[in-house]
Amino acid sequence: MRRDIFQAIADPTRRAIIVLIALQPMTPNAIAQHFDSTRQAVSKHLRILTECDLITQEQKGREIYYSLEVEKMKEIDHWMEQFRKIWESRFSQLDHLLDTIKKQKK
């Protein structure tokens, strides 16, 4: 079953895992050490992130390393860009209003 990437990032633990492996590939045990949950719970989060293609796994010897799929993260960034433009416009309007109020007080 393919999951939506927004389902994956909706969970704070999965977002934290993304941040961890963005820096370097990590094994499930290394990832689990950063959380107060079971290794099985972390594995479930890793499975969801993998199903969404946000992370990939690579076998190195007997270990599996998970790493971030940066290209997939661009989908999230692309979707958020529309909101970034809206907020930038609103902040610009607010700056203009504040400048107007400042000039009126002088």
Q: How would residue 41 be classed by pLDDT, with cut points 50, 70 and 90?
A: very high
Decide which of 18 and 76 is more confident: 18
User: What's the pLDDT tens digit per position in 65-82?
Assistant: 999 998 888 888 888 898
What is the model's pLDDT at position 2? 64
Mean pLDDT of 2-31: 91
Q: Is the pLDDT of residue 3 over 80?
A: no
Identify the residue whose tokens are 């970034």: 84
DSSP 23-89: HS-B-HHHHHTTSSS-HHHHHHHHHHHHHTTSEEEEEETTEEEEEE-HHHHHHHHHHHHHHHHHHHH
Task: Give me the domains of the chain, ranges plus CATH numbers.
Answer: 5-105 (1.10.10.10)
Residues with Cβ within 8 Å of residue 58, at least 6 apart in sequence? 25, 64, 65, 67
Q: How would residue 47 be classed by pLDDT, with cut points 50, 70 and 90?
A: very high
Q: Is the pLDDT of residue 20 over 70?
A: yes
Taking phi over 0 as left and psi of -120 to 50 as alpha, with beta for the rest, 54 belongs to alpha
Alpha-carbon gap, residue 77 to 74, rounded angstroms: 5
Phi and psi angles of residue 24, each rounded to the nearest 5 degrees, phi first: -165, 150
Mean pLDDT of 25-30: 95
